[in-house]
Amino acid sequence: MAVIGEQHEGGGVPDGGPALNASENRPAPTASGRGGAGGAGTGGAGAASRLEPLLAGFFPDGPPVRFVFWDGSATGPLECVGRVVVRSPDALRRVLWSPNELGLARAFVTGELEVEGDLCAMLRVLRDAAGLERDNYARRRVARLRKTVPSLLTSPASAARVGALGLPPPRPPEEAHLSGWRHSRTRDAAAITHHYDVGDDFYRLVLGPAMTYSCARFEVPEMSLEDAQRSKHDLICRKLRLHERPGLRLLDVGCGWGSMVLRAAEAYGAKAVGITLSVAQAACAKARVEAAGLGARVEVRLQDYRALRGESFDAISSIGMFEHVGSARMDQYFATLYRLLKPAGRLLNHAISKPGGSKMRGAGFINRYIFPDGDLIDVGEVVKGMQRAGLEVRDVENLREHYCLTLRAWVSNLEASWDEAVAMAGERRARAWRLYMAASANAFEEGKIAVHQVLGVRCGPGGESGMPPTRAAWG
């Protein structure tokens, strides 16, 4: 049952959030030492009451979860999946100055806005209660924000009473600010550095022992993340026919921390070259290669794919890298990889896709904090791009549900070792990654985005493909 109005829970929250005092059905003291109706510094009316027009604009049927504010006032149902805790009026100022997802994200990243409970479930509940359609979610959300947020400013005195008046708070320093032409070599290198050079220890904590930052393949739901990542690598190796004979030469574009080249060399006897633009990844991958005793079969380079010249490969894998290429450079990308393949050589492109495509740009949360300049290209366009380059597309597989399981495992890893993650990467960056992965898990689960493996072959002069008659050997 919804309880709308000025219930009071906890007090001022400069020390990390309000504490429930539900057993006594009264507010705990506020930061100023005062409790009771309205909370501290609100002139007799709590923030919950003053902000009801804003919440009503989002949720016509009332808030679906409990909203608790910095002065101890609260509104919304007592029994629900979790709580939204607004720890500071600065959260409102961020939304007023950036009435879109970026304002909300900045408030979350800084800790001015907290979500208590299962973050994936909370995001779904809030979205559903706002009546946002799956296919036009972002557009309607922004429109509603811009329509309802100004209601706070109908009276400057009212805005001042809830602390929403004033200059915008400083932007968190974790936001990316790239310069130069989009998808130029220098800008791409800067984007990769922002995305991946968070620290190997942080990624090891989140990704687990596999150190693989791409969708795993869960043959059964109970499979461990490490085994599921190995299953994904094995599937790719078999699709690229590395199992047919040892010594085949593999290029892994965007090799990350080296997991694919290590598996290909160790389990299938491949001679592998991995390239990356991340200095930190390259150093870690080289160290892993040496530790595994595979230096004679694996080479890791700090190199842009556009700089590859005069080499040939039996197989090429691109796993979770294509999202950084950009739709404008897709044809160049596939043409480059086509030239590097031997006749009957195969290319496996494993990438996130979205119907109609999507570019990370402007004021989007993911563009600013996680994945600057990323492009999610429609799988249909990927197929056409590969074939324009001369490749014959032979197989397309969607692993969407597997990425949902992968992301949930990463979120669990992060939350289980939260204090360590914060010590490694800083609290704001850790919060950004938690939000990003939880929201992405929902997006994959709901079918908004997918991840496709597209297999292409460079046929020989007589059309020879070397493809097997069925997929049976892939497992």
How would DSSP label each residue in 209-250? TT---S----SSTT--HHHHHHHHHHHHHHHTTTTSSTT-EE
- Which class would CATH give 185-474? alpha beta
Whether residue 180 contacts residue 123, with contact meaning beta carbons closer than 8 Å, is answered with: no
With vertex at residue 215, the alpha carbon angle to CA 273 and CA 412, rounded to the nearest 5 degrees, is: 125
Q: Is the dihedral of CA 470, 449, 208, 295 positive or negative?
A: positive
For residue 444, pLDDT beyond 50: yes
Tell me which residue has tokens 């409790």: 35
Average pLDDT over residues 248-266: 97
Q: What is the pLDDT of residues 361-385, one digit of tens each?
A: 666 777 777 777 678 999 999 999 9
Place of tokens 């085949």: 248
* Rg of the chain in Å (alpha carbons): 25
Strand-pairing partners, residue 86, are 69, 113
- Entry pTM: 0.83
Q: Categorize the per-residue pLDDT at 96 as very low, low, confident or very high, splitting at 50, 70 and 90.
A: confident
pLDDT digits (tens, 9 = 90+) for 191-239: 666 555 578 899 999 999 999 999 999 999 899 999 999 999 999 999 9
Each domain of the chain, given as residue ranges in start order, spans 7-161, 185-474
